[in-house]
Chain A
């Protein structure tokens, strides 16, 4: 079953008077990995931060246009609800330093004041950590602080934390840029494994990574969506000159 999970309609985003995303019309298919690719400063991060309404938290930031999660306009929804349905994994792993590994996983519930029974929370912790391929490494240390893990493990812990609240979409904002190659490839494999359950959107400036991981690629340049298509087509026979120049390393 092919359907669209996220859609933007003439989306523009600003910092003050500075427009960083311009009239974006993007459709993100469900259960596929969509990579948002482009050189630094092209508005990739800003774009995905519009998807979970994190953009508006920056002073002076505003948006125009619409973003639909399935049928719902997320800018008509409560931002709190939006962020539980659209999770986010950041560039740098950011587990909560004052919480144990187990508490980090259920942080989305704990911090929101949701009461979980012991068995419920144990189940969520186990299921989420298994989905994030971290369970075997940490199952005996659930009461230790999350910050004692390695960078790659911390990032998987953050993925488990995002998965625990059962989102429809998971935004990965350059999730491997602070990790070593081995940890990075682990995360990439994880994204592929996850796409059946939650639609990943991957922000990356790394062409090779987009090639390895994604099903669809959106190429952004100077805040505009230049090209969108299946990865094979976009990487081998780009229609736009600028895409080709980026892929061949003329700029980046």
Chain B
């Protein structure tokens, strides 16, 4: 190779590296803009009353989002319980029965469910829960969100368990430990970091979902602790208030956006820290 071609190669190499770095920074721009607008418009709306007050009727100044925060929490709690249990169980099954026919169909179903638009999930929950129960409710909203969490948790569990060396399971089985105890006491603890990450990320994802709640949780201007009654949720409140004609409501919507993004952000940071702490090295 001559000196010139090698120099040209180095130049191309540098150019490519610079391009990759520039493009990766460029991809951060939308996020930074979102954060900028939300903080600029939302932060002034935030104060202690905003967190503890209920929304006020049109025309009245002030008002907070206490009911939406509580509502979102109720929805997430209802959604998490069944989907964490089912999701981890299905994840264990999928990683343990690779290549089996049932696992193939379960895996396919999970992929399809993950790809199902959230509005469709909302309609399903409406048909399954809202109509038989005769009204909108936190329960139906929780079920809709749970359906969205399920595939995420299954995938996270399956992928985590796939990374756990088979030798670990064999070590336990060879000590005469039954299969179920091996899973519960050896395999799951070794994968706790990945599974918890999956669970928390899925909570962060569904916490911001609006579409599945439109005809399930429906929204509520008042505080509600009853799972069989409609509740408000942060994204629902943002949706309803941002599309309203009142400037005062827009202010609340910006504030709520700021809270929602802050929660998602905090959850993600928390996940980062905890994954490192819970990480099991083999």
Contact = CB atoms under 8 A, between A and B. Distances in A.
Interface of A: 52, 54, 57, 59, 79-84, 87-88, 90, 92, 94-98, 107-108, 110-113, 147, 158, 161-162, 165
Interface in B4-53: none
Interface of B: 99-100, 165, 167-168, 170-178, 181-182, 185-186, 189-190, 280-282
Given A94-B168, A113-B181, A81 B176 contact: yes
A165 B181 contact: no
Contacts of B172: 96, 107, 111
Most chain-B CB neighbours within 10 Å: which of A88, A94, A108? A94
B181 A84 contact: no
Contacts of A59: 99-100
A57 B178 CA distance: 12
Given A94-B165, A96-B168, A111-B186, A87 B174 contact: yes
A97 B190 contact: yes
Contacts of A95: 171
A96 B176 contact: no
Contacts of B173: 54, 57, 83
Contacts of B165: 94
A96 B280 CA distance: 10
A61 B9 CA distance: 55
Contacts of B189: 98
A97 B191 CA distance: 11
Nearest to A158: B171
B186 A96 contact: yes
A80 B181 CA distance: 12
Contact of B181 (A96, A112, A158): A112
Nearest to B179: A57
Contact of B177 (A52, A87, A111): A111
Contacts of B99: 59
A161 B168 CA distance: 13
B171 A165 contact: no
A90 B175 CA distance: 12
Given A94-B170, A112-B176, 18 more contacts: A52-B174, A57-B173, A59-B100, A79-B176, A84-B176, A90-B170, A92-B167, A94-B167, A94-B168, A95-B171, A96-B186, A97-B190, A97-B281, A108-B176, A110-B185, A111-B181, A111-B186, A165-B176
A112 B177 contact: yes
B176 A80 contact: yes
Contacts of A92: 167
Given A111-B182, A111-B186, A113-B181, A54 B282 contact: no
A157 to B, nearest CB: 11
Contacts of A54: 170, 173-174
A137 to B, nearest CB: 21
Given A98-B189, A147-B282, A84 B167 contact: no
A73 B255 CA distance: 73
A59 B282 CA distance: 25
- What are the 3 A-B residue pairs with the smallest beta carbon separation, nearest first? A83-B176, A84-B176, A88-B174
A12 B282 CA distance: 35
Contacts of A162: 174-175
A84 B171 CA distance: 12
Nearest to A84: B176
Nearest to B172: A111
A165 B100 CA distance: 34
A107 B171 CA distance: 10
A107 B172 CA distance: 8
A80 B174 contact: no
Nearest to A108: B175
